[in-house]
Structure 1
Amino acid sequence: MERIKVFTTTFLDQLGQRLQSKEIINGYVEGRAPNYSNSDTKDTLIEIDVFPKLAADKEEFENAQILYESMRDIDRTMASDQRLWAWLAHVPFMEYMAKRWPVADQHEEKRAAYIVNHWFVKTQTSSSYMRHGIAMLWWGAYMTYNSESDYPFELTKELFSMQDYTRTIFGMLGRSNNFVRALLEYVIENPHLFESHKEARIRFLMRRLNYEGGYKIIPSLSVSEIKKLINKYKNITEEITD
């Protein structure tokens, strides 16, 4: 069994300050995590058999499924701990991160910001979690996994089929399970509506629902209620081409 850990807040603060160092940045370029000691980490109460093997050449959906199946015991509170995702990105999944998010491909002046975006969760905003290389996979699967379905990861596959989903769904209406499931189910249930101009139509619906959010507390609605709300815009959506 392997214990899941977190970095200490003190270590993360110090590491954040050191990210302006060319030596530290070059470590990320070469796929090496910054040095740390045992005192820089804390144990959580969660153990897993073995950390899964993620592969940069696999689809995001595949890695999300693999990760979530291995780390399903993480609860929502723990998954909101910024220290957890920093440790996971730098320790068990550093090799994957270095290949999936290669720092060497970035211009030198942008490398520090790139590292911050993908190796760290800097704020408690949904978009910050969805930029993080590992948190994005776990949260995406967590929000869409359906244990009552014959294919529990059907919505997960749809979520990772288009980058606009992870940018707009979580950016606008936060981490609301019902909202995410309602939108993805609606897309799957209406294939003809989204067989063309899919990205533009999703963006349109997101704007309309964000507007509706000023009048209704959308996350408090049921999945069926949210789908009815989406369906109100079906005719207009059919006319969207860009």
Structure 2
Amino acid sequence: MSELQKVLILTSDSVDTLRVMAAGANASEIWNNDLDALVKTHSLRFIESEYEVDPTQGLQLSDGDFRRRDLDATNARQILRVLPNLTAADAVDERLWVTLALGHFRGYMRDRWPADDDALGNHVRNHVFASTDRRRERDHAIARLWWSGSYVRRFVDASQVNPALQAFFSNSDLSVQILGRPSLATIPALARAILAVVTKYFVDQEVPYDRTGVRSFLEALDYLAGRRALGTVPANVLLEVVEERFREHVELPAFLESTAVS
């Protein structure tokens, strides 16, 4: 790894200045100008942070061989290299994410989330700003990659991070549903079992994503976690329980419906 650099981040007042612009008629100015231009025009200010970035690392852009969303898993792994020492406690800092989105990763943001001029204000608010958990985990161009990558890395073996991330990003709804349910992260054994099951079906067996079924599956696990001490259940038994719930709720292709849980 190359030498890490401390990140200069926008001040809270500067972020608020940009937020007001995005809510009004100046969203296009934020979207179409680089950070240096915005700093000069609006007297934005920076402060030195304790966050460290590897300046040699970037995020992969789409080309003729990849759809934009197909690179989410790759870039979720990559953002962990870019910000190797970032913790969950620090990753709620909106100033960091706004600075990265408009600065170092502006090209990636515009490539991954091309703008529609008819709704540019909402577009900028969703993908540049990150004031809530939902925005950070679902919408923000960069933060969503870090939160998803961090979640998966925490609960799976290193050899399984790649396929687990492929499963995690198999549909934009899946990561939202998992990250939005705190109980699924507070019981590590349950998180591991869920990631193993969704990897098996959505990646290994290429089962089509069933939005209604997945939400019902995770709701069932939420309910189960509220009435049983799942953290004390042996890992192999818990894996069977999770897979059974998955098969009960998620629509499967005919050739899988009759196969036994393994």
TM-score range, shorter chain: 0.7 to 0.9
In structure 1, how many angstroms separate the alpha carbons of the residues matched to 2:151 and 2:19? 29
Quick one: distance in 1 between partners of 2:234 and 2:27? 44
Please state whether the residue corresponding to 1:75 is helix, strand or coil: coil
| CA RMSD, 1 decimal | 3.3
2:5 to 2, 5, 14: 2
Q: Which moved more, 1:204-213 or 1:230-239?
A: 230-239
- Aligned partner of 2:258 in structure 1 is none
TM-score relative to the length of structure 2: 0.74
Shift of 1:74: 0.7
Of 71, 76, 84, the residue aligned with 2:88 is 76
Calculate the TM-score normalised by the size of structure 1. Answer: 0.79
Aligned twin of 2:29: 27
**Are positions 1:208 and 2:227 aligned together?**
no
> SS where residue 43 of structure 1 aligns?
strand
Aligned residue in 1 for 2:138: 130
Q: Deviations over 1:76-113 (max 9, x none)?
A: 1111211111111111111211222222x241xx2212
Q: What residue is the counterpart of 1:164 in the other structure?
A: 173
CA contact (8 A) 2:23 2:121 kept: yes
Deviation of residue 235 (structure 1)? Answer: 5.0
SS at match of 2:170: coil
Q: 1:238 to 1:122 in 2, by over 3 A?
A: closer
Distance in 1 between residues matched to 2:234 and 2:47, nearest whole Å: 38
Distance 2:143 2:15 in 1: 17
Aligned length: 235
- Shift of the alpha carbon at 1:226? 5.4
Query: Structure 2 vs 1, CA of residues 149 and 203 (structure 1 numbering), >3 Å: closer, same or farther?
Result: same
Give the Å deviation of 1:28.
3.8
Alignment-derived partner of residue 40 in structure 1: 45
Is contact 1:127–1:170 with CA below 8 Å preserved after alignment?
Answer: no
Q: Distance in 2 between matches of 1:187 and 1:228?
A: 13
- Return closer, same or farther for 1:9/1:131 CA change in 2, 3 Å cut-off: same
Q: 1:67 aligns with which of 75, 79, 86?
A: 79
In structure 2, the partner of 1:184 is 195
Q: For 2:96 and 2:183, how far apart are their aligned partners in 1?
A: 20
Structure 1 residues 211 and 97 mapped into 2: Cα distance closer, same or farther (>3 Å)? same
**Conserved? CA contact 1:155–1:181, under 8 Å:** no
CA distance in 2, matches of 1:211, 1:46: 38
Q: Identity of paired residues, percent?
A: 20
Stretch of structure 1 that moved more, 130-139 or 195-204: 195-204
Structure 1 residue runs of 5 or longer lacking an equivalent are none
> 2:52, 2:161 → 1: CA distance?
23
Residues of 2 paired with 1:223 and 1:61: CA distance? 30
- For the structure 1 residues 106 and 199, does the alpha-carbon distance in structure 2 shift closer, same or farther, using more than 3 Å as the test? farther
* CA-CA distance at 1:197 after TM superposition: 4.5
Distance 2:58 2:203 in 1: 37
